[in-house]
Structure 1
């Protein structure tokens, strides 16, 4: 995209269409991460076209529908986790786009293990998006693991400065128990 204002309406419309397309793709990427964090496999499923391929860097390779089916079983019992997506590059080519982004995941492994720990992981995701019937979605995803760091679980909430009584905190949860799915806005 140019760094100067377009000098005609057709160029402006082309650049606006590109911005709208990139925003739609960005929202798919972020919704996927929300789905993983909240245990909402429907959000993950919506990120893919029906015939999409998922290559999860050595942990899964096959139809995205099969990957989503696995996530429907795993996510409700998965540990608390947070996905942060950064360095998003979207290269448009008509009704196709190549994206690259980094996803940092923090997960708390404190149930069902003798030695609870926190895990910080960085992965890079390369997606081929396609626009079909006006909808952008992933047609093929490839993931590369970059690094992982594990540390003993030690949660003090700023040594009590953030929350002297952590039991009083409203905590993130899986669907339907997370505040995102609550209709109570009072």
Structure 2
């Protein structure tokens, strides 16, 4: 996992990093097409004990689950990529926030997981050939949304909030180019 030695290697690393971040966007925005695009058609997804099989079956499950999923936010950090020609091994951390329904309301859950991915470049396209998820830790706490004790917004109803595709501001702005979305 040494330093890049060429522009081509930098471009390959960036292409792989973009896939990892787009996958997270897909999970957060309920945009399963972004998740599907991260994989080769014959890829394997081993989701660390919760799923192990063809990635296409995992994606099909996401198509059913994400429209009903709670609010989530995935942050991708510590991306390391070891390139070897048309293959690469990457490790990245996903720090995930989720607001989960429970009997008496909601809890907020923080989870740290790592994705260990074998990428392959086929026909000039990098994608995941095999993913293994490793769960590192989880912490749950009561929901206490105060928006910085009122410093961010005294009235949270004025805040523009993130939501799923197609209603999120991102998709409105993509549809209008760089013009302001309403």
TM-score (norm 2): 0.92
Structure 1 CA distance for aligned equivalents of residues 94 and 106 of structure 2: 23
Structure 2 CA distance for aligned equivalents of residues 85 and 97 of structure 1: 18
Deviation at 1:2, TM superposition (A): 5.4
**Match of 1:31, SS?**
helix
For 1:48, the equivalent position in structure 2 comes to 39
Match of 2:137 among 131, 147, 157: 147
Match of 1:163 among 153, 162, 169: 153
Structure 1 CA distance for aligned equivalents of residues 68 and 153 of structure 2: 26
Q: Which has the larger radius of gyration?
A: 1
1:98 paired with 2:89, answer yes
Structure 2 CA distance for aligned equivalents of residues 156 and 48 of structure 1: 38
For 2:21, the equivalent position in structure 1 comes to 30
> Which deviates the most, 23-32 or 112-121?
112-121
Gaps of 5+ in 1: 4-13
Aligned-residue CA RMSD (Å): 1.4
Gaps of 5+ in 2: none
For 2:119, the equivalent position in structure 1 comes to 129
The 1:2–1:85 alpha-carbon spacing in structure 2 relative to 1, beyond 3 Å, is closer
Structure 2 CA distance for aligned equivalents of residues 75 and 114 of structure 1: 23
| Matched residues, number | 175
For 1:64, the equivalent position in structure 2 comes to 55
**Match of 1:161, SS?**
coil
TM-score (norm 1): 0.90
Structure 1 CA distance for aligned equivalents of residues 141 and 165 of structure 2: 27
Deviation at 1:77, TM superposition (A): 1.0
Structure 2 CA distance for aligned equivalents of residues 62 and 177 of structure 1: 31
Structure 1 CA distance for aligned equivalents of residues 83 and 107 of structure 2: 40
Structure 1 CA distance for aligned equivalents of residues 43 and 120 of structure 2: 10
